[in-house]
């Protein structure tokens, strides 16, 4: 998971717009996205404030990378590593439940 998150970083590029309304008209397109599991994990923990009402992540990529390293070393002391461990266990149990026998 650590390597996957390290390699798959969101990348947005500018490309020419399909319908040009002016010269040099460009649009943003996502070329590379983070892993699906990371998006699901971060979306569980969002914060909204009065000054900034748009939902934004409470957990950041760097913190998740640090938590994955800590879990790999067998440490489980931070909030993020606890949350991540619970998330991983839930994902594993969901995958086991989906196996048809």
pLDDT at 84: 92
How does the average pLDDT of the chain come out, rounded?
86
Q: Residue 14's pLDDT is what?
A: 93
**pLDDT score of 79 more than 70:** yes
Model confidence at 16: pLDDT above 70: yes
Is residue 86 very low, low, confident or very high in pLDDT (cuts 50, 70, 90)? Answer: very high
CA distance 82 to 60: 15
Length of the chain counted residue by residue: 101
Which residues make Cβ contacts (< 8 Å) with residue 2, sequence separation at least 6? Answer: 65, 68, 69, 72
Over residues 11-28, the mean pLDDT reads 90
pLDDT of residue 56: 67
pLDDT surpasses 60 at 24: yes
pLDDT value of position 100 = 62
């Amino acid at each position: 998971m650590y390597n996957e998150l390290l390699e798959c970083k969101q990348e947005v590029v500018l490309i020419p717009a399909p319908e040009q309304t002016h010269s040099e008209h460009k649009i943003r397109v996502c070329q590379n996205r983070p892993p699906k599991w990371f998006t699901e994990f971060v979306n569980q923990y969002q914060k909204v404030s009065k000054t900034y009402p748009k939902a934004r992540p409470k957990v950041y990529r760097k913190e998740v990378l640090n938590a994955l390293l800590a879990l790999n070393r067998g440490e489980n002391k931070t909030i993020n590593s606890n949350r991540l461990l619970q998330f991983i266990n839930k994902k594993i149990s969901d995958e086991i439940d989906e196996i048809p026998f």
